[in-house]
A and B are shown apart, each in its own frame.
Chain A
Amino acid sequence: MKKAQLVAGLVLVGLVVLAAVVSLFWTPFDPIRVVPGERLAPPSLTHFLGTDGFGIDIFSRLLVGARTTLAVGIISVSLAAVFGVPLGMLAGQAGGWVDDVVMRTADVVYALPALLLAMLLASVFGASTTTAMIAIGVASIPAFARVARAGTLQVMAADFILAARVSGTSRWGVASRHVAPNIAPVIGVQASVGFAMAILAEAALSYLGLGTPRPNPTWGNMLRDAQNYLFVAPLQAVWPGLAIAVAVLGFNLLGDGLRDYLDPRLREVP
């Protein structure tokens, strides 16, 4: 059962990755080129999912859209982890006022929704994939910091840490050799969940016109275009919606599966 979750997650995520990789080498049609004569075509053998209001093959756009989705996910989660994890470890190890300062700052950032931050950045620097990545990344830092801090506190209470300190290992040594490897699994789980959140946030931003600008396809702006034809060609909104759902579900399942897989207490006794 636990394994099934992990496998399902891996399969769904694999699908998204596959789509993104395939799109680098091949798409059935040009994902940007407008073909006026083929507007709003229903699904057929030539156009698997039909065409949009510009006569562009929806399947091709979905494939290319997966690229943006993954890129935003990877970059923003990396950004959040690179800043969040060390900060969380610092707070957990140092304690005292350092802990207070770091975590209260994190709380402040946490209170600021990613969307608001993205709108702010978009209005200053203009809407682009980069601003979306940065906004989502920055907004996810506190989540990573919290998880890292909790993990660090747990590890720091262990006897082997005491032993390491008694034997003269420096704080840096403790952090890098003992804490980091031990909290890596929880960070991995958080990354997977954060990835799902990043995908949703990116879709929301593109939907609002604050993410990747036209004509580059993303699932969010496909959804946005589709709403113009909701009464004429309702299927158009289904495909990008489905893609977002699959990706988010995939990363969430992967996260849950990983947690169960890595947590020895939850491991089934044979």
Chain B
Amino acid sequence: MSFADRLRLPKSGLVKAIAVMLGLTLGFGLGGCTTGNPASTNPTRTLKVGATLEPASMDAWHNTAAAIPQVLLYNVYETLVKVDADGQIRPLLAQAWEVSPDRLTYSFHLNPAAKFASGAPVDAAAVVANINRMKADPKLTETLKAQLAIVTGAAVVGEREVEIKLSRPSLMWLYDMTTSVGMMLDPAFTGDVASATAGSGPYAFKAHDKGQSVTLVANNAYWGTPARFDEVVFRYYADPNAENAAMLSGDLDIVSSLQAPDALSQFSDTTRFTTINGTTNGEVVLGFNHSKKALSNLKVRQALTMAINRRELIDTVWNGQGTLIGSMAVPTDPWFEDLSGTNAYNPTQAKKLLKEAGYGDGLTLRLRVPVIPYAVKSAQFVASQLRDVGVTVKVEELDFTRWLSEVFTNGDYDLTIVGHTEPRDFPKFANPKYYWRYDSKKFQQLYQAADVTPDDAKAVAGMKASLRYLADDAAAIWLFDLPNLVITKNTITGLPANASSISFDLTSIASR
């Protein structure tokens, strides 16, 4: 009820006056909500998290933007299993699970306490309904479709036991289930997932103030360890300096990912701030559009890779923070090896290769990047170094929504730079419809062969081989692995050093 509605009801002058007083009191009470709630004796515990990319909606099923699961995964929607800070798979909605010897059937035993925010149980029927809903959804994102492609069916075994069958064994599948594709939505929910949520997590979506923030509130009916905050606000800053300033002035509790590493020294006051510096799953990828003639040529891709000194790029663009990777894997992955030596910096060789490919007289490419600090700065660096080998680069900066529709969805670009923050995401190179349009039968075979290998050690060796193939084939240029630079107030505890999941997992965070 609005303030105006309250005013219209009373008839007499006195009642009206009282109503006005009441309204004012209520108004003040509401206005003061962020600092204290007069209705309860405990003050409201609010956590304010600064972030860079704002989600366009709350719909993780039809929008691949990582900003959505960053807020929702594990916090609002839960998965059968989750990945912990060390990259290991842990129980969440499923207490335990078994894999059949042929590795085609997974049986999950659901936690009997688990229930959605509505009170409905997270039972076998709900899990099956989720799998079936996604499989039947033609508009589901390509990423989720690809991850679900090997699922042939899900069946209710007992009230709390569900069986999921795969068409082929897959090492990757269970990891996938810890990400967006594993998020369980209340089957009874009929609203619009873009603007409301119905999960089983400790928080529920409250409001999205476009251009500003996303607010989550504690789900008081949560079945597990209760939320430690009544309200969590993700505030979005297009400008990293504004975010830093907000942190310095005390407006934020956490900077979820420092986007201006040159400003790291601003937070050196250890009596006020804690700095976390670990690794992330965020590979900064310079993507080639393989459907373009010039970029379908291996020699051109190799030349472009050799033209860029990636060590210097990290030093220049990200103040030396970050790790060289050289392929689509990060140090926390079991199959990681530093492949930055493949097609290493060699401008002379790059020029030679370009000449051999028939571009000795020059080549013009459009580099379309989203306006994200690491991307625009890398773009300037890349443009400069490619110019040195005779490649003209036209840089275009697009706001993220436009980048998503034009570059990511429609593939209207030659080169682009973006961070791929999903964990274990190199299988995306096996999807020819993905925005790189990379259609390498060889890689698809290598990856699938590794993925179905029953022996874990052999499977990891296979993954390594496929990653090496990606590097040799110069399928993209892996500029660097983004560092997990997190700044928190000293009163905040429980953040892991390495960000192993795409989620900004609030469940372990506490305030002293």
Mutual binders A and B: yes
Chain B positions within 8 Å of A213 at CB level: 395-397
A117: Cβ under 8 A from any B Cβ: no
A204-237 CB mask vs B (1 if < 8 Å, else 0) is: 0000010001110000000000011111100000
User: Contact between A32 and B262 (Cβ–Cβ < 8 Å)?
Assistant: no
Report the minimal beta-carbon distance from A237 to chain B, rounded to whole angstroms.
11
A126: Cβ under 8 A from any B Cβ: yes
User: Contact between B265 and A231 (Cβ–Cβ < 8 Å)?
Assistant: yes
Chain B positions within 8 Å of A127 at CB level: 396-397
Chain B positions within 8 Å of A214 at CB level: 376, 379-380, 383, 395, 397
CA distance A211 to B316 in the complex (A): 24
Chain A positions within 8 Å of B383 at CB level: 32, 214-215
User: Contact between A32 and B241 (Cβ–Cβ < 8 Å)?
Assistant: no
CA distance A123 to B403 in the complex (A): 11
User: Nearest residue in A to B381 (C-beta to C-beta)?
Assistant: A34
Q: How large is the interface on A (under 10, 10 to 19, 20 to 34, 35 or more residues)?
A: 20 to 34
User: Contact between B316 and A55 (Cβ–Cβ < 8 Å)?
Assistant: yes
User: Contact between B265 and A36 (Cβ–Cβ < 8 Å)?
Assistant: no
User: Contact between A34 and B316 (Cβ–Cβ < 8 Å)?
Assistant: yes
- Residues of A contacting B: mostly: loop
CA distance A34 to B399 in the complex (A): 25
A54: Cβ under 8 A from any B Cβ: yes
User: Contact between A36 and B262 (Cβ–Cβ < 8 Å)?
Assistant: no
CA distance A5 to B178 in the complex (A): 70
Chain A positions within 8 Å of B376 at CB level: 209, 214
User: Contact between B316 and A54 (Cβ–Cβ < 8 Å)?
Assistant: yes
User: Contact between A230 and B241 (Cβ–Cβ < 8 Å)?
Assistant: yes
CA distance A123 to B376 in the complex (A): 17
User: Contact between A126 and B396 (Cβ–Cβ < 8 Å)?
Assistant: yes
User: Contact between B316 and A32 (Cβ–Cβ < 8 Å)?
Assistant: no
Chain B positions within 8 Å of A39 at CB level: 315-316
Q: Say which one of B6-14, B122-130, B185-193, B384-392 lies at the interface with A.
A: B384-392
Q: If A209-B371, A232-B262 touch, does A32 touch B384 (CB 8 Å cutoff)?
A: yes
Question: Which of B240, B371, B380 has the largest count of A CB atoms less than 10 A from its CB?
Answer: B380
User: Contact between A227 and B241 (Cβ–Cβ < 8 Å)?
Assistant: yes
User: Contact between A123 and B402 (Cβ–Cβ < 8 Å)?
Assistant: yes
CA distance A6 to B396 in the complex (A): 41
B316, B371, B397: the one within 8 Å of A53 (CB): B316
Interface residue ranges, A against B (CB under 8 Å): 32-34, 36-37, 39, 53-55, 123, 126-127, 209, 213-215, 227-232
- Could you name 5 residue pairs across A and B whose Cβ atoms are closer than 8 Å? A36-B313, A36-B316, A54-B380, A214-B383, A228-B373
